[in-house]
Amino acid sequence: MTAATIHFEAPARRLTGFDLALIALFLLGLYLGVSLQITAKIPLTCAPSGLAGLILLWRRRDDIQPRHLAGLLGVVALYLVWILLATNLAFLSKRFTGLVQLTYGLVIGYGLFLTLLRAERRQLANILLGFCLFIIVGCLLESHTGLRAVSDKIREKIYDSGVVYDADLRDQLLYGRIRPKLFTSEPSAVTFAYTHYCSIWLVVSPWRWKLLIYLGLVGLAMVVLPGPTLVLMLLLMIPYLVLLSGSNSRRSTTRLIGMIALSVVVLGITVVVGQTLFAARLAELSRGEDASFFYRFTGPMLVTFDMFRNFPIAGAGLTGEPFITDNVMNVYMNSPSFQSAWRISRIGDVLTNYFWLHWIYLGLVGGVVMFAALSAWLRMLGVPSVLYCWAVWLILGQASGSYVGPKTWAVLLIAAGTSILSVRAVRERHTAPRWQSVVPARFAT
């Protein structure tokens, strides 16, 4: 019996209140993104998530399977090989720091993954929905009460001055108001967390009409905390509908066709919503005046192609921005979408897309090798659809940077864990023996 079979057939067990509190703390850490400086060079990013993840890993130590551990060590070993292959070993110390941070993210994410496998879907759905409603209510209070002053004071204390968002005037021009930040470093952190947690809720919720409720959550967010990241909520429905919803159903082919058709409709709605609600932002983009979009998508993509030409084997190395500073500046200055008036204080601040950073750090060859290695590990973990996990990872990567940070790998491993829960529930519903409902449990073997 394979690990995947074990995961699908093992009955869910209700988590204790302490486990649920640790999951909530993990999600809170991803939301806030608060870091603690362990050494002069190594920060503990998303510190609350790190604490919660390590405790969860210890509590699930009996669930750790040798194949899981071997896969994780193999992935880390390959990353080590690729930082050694990267050009100019003078930057090895910086790249090794990146490897430590990446390993930390994978380890705590694995601890959360093991915990998710023991959960009852309703328990997780309640936490996630509660978190999303907390964000909505908090943003309403920040926009209409004195909570903004409290939030701003707390933000000044827990974030570096260079990190705190200060583009309120631009928000007023684009959205007609100051977007809520709700104790985070910037509005995009709020919309990213809301998008991520709502999409997880859609996967794990047992509610019959959850698709309609999900669309309601999208509409609510568009009003309360506007931002282009929310469009990703609609896109995230597609991999769920096509790759997970109705898996192993007796009418799987018919259902799959229906889900694909529905996904096409969702894609069309996404385009219309984006063009309607973010017309000012799109107009700014068409004029080449949207620095945020350039740094989040266009710029990193162009730098990736430059890496393929100049460093195809091993790229810049993990966290290798200092090594490619000149390359990045040359690419940006030669791009018609870049304006010389845009200030660049740090190269890492203008490469904020972890999907493209994967290729920038590893090169074409290394990027393919690591995708294959991570996919093999996901298979060892027993995920029903590796493609689903990568689709979620890619979509959310358009709104987040920090490739070596815990948030990046939490996205992948949460998708892995919740996809197993979703498919396990569907398989139990459609494959349960008919006699199971009439034969007392004590006679079942």
Residue 166: per-residue pLDDT: 55
Residues 191-230 as b or e (16 or more Cβ within 10 Å = b): bbbbbbbbbbbbbbbeeeebbebbbebbebbbebbbbbbb
Q: What pLDDT does 1 receive?
A: 40
Q: Does 410 fall in a domain?
A: yes
pLDDT value at position 409?
96
* pLDDT at position 438: 36
Confirm whether 190 is domain-assigned: yes
Asked if residue 438 belongs to a domain, the reply is: no
Total domain count for the chain? Answer: 1
Report the distance separating Cα 146 and Cα 411, nearest Å: 33
- Write the DSSP string, 223-273: HHS--GGGHHHHHTHHHIIIIITTTT-TTHHHHHHHHHHHHHHHHHHHHHH
Tens-level pLDDT at each residue, the chain (445 residues): 444 444 544 545 678 999 999 999 999 999 998 888 777 777 788 999 999 999 999 999 999 999 999 999 999 999 999 999 998 888 998 999 999 999 999 999 999 999 999 999 999 999 999 999 999 999 999 988 888 888 888 888 887 644 455 566 666 666 667 888 898 888 889 999 999 999 999 999 998 899 899 988 988 988 888 878 888 888 898 889 888 875 544 445 555 565 566 556 665 665 555 555 555 555 555 555 567 778 888 899 999 999 999 999 999 999 988 999 999 999 998 888 888 778 887 888 888 899 999 999 999 999 999 999 999 999 999 999 999 999 999 999 988 888 999 999 999 999 999 999 988 876 666 555 543 433 333 323 2
Specify the pLDDT at position 8.
Answer: 46
**What would the two tokens of residue 45 be?**
């990013």
**What is the pLDDT at residue 276?**
59
Q: Is 395 among the domain residues?
A: yes
End-to-end CA distance of the chain: 18
C-alpha–C-alpha distance, residues 382 and 376, integer Å: 10
Which of 271, 182, 268, 185 minimizes the C-alpha distance to 225?
Answer: 182
Structural domain harbouring 258 = 3-429
Q: Does residue 240 form part of some domain? A: yes
Distance between CA 207 and CA 191 in Å, rounded?
Answer: 24
Identity of the residue numbered 110: Y
Distance CA 146, CA 152 (A): 10
C-alpha Rg value of the chain to the nearest Å: 22
Report if residue 95 sits inside a domain: yes
Q: Which of 372, 301, 385 is nearest to 78 (CA)?
A: 372
Tokens encoding 230: 């929310």
Is this structure's pTM higher than 0.75? yes
Domain contains 441: no
Residue 435 lies in a domain: no
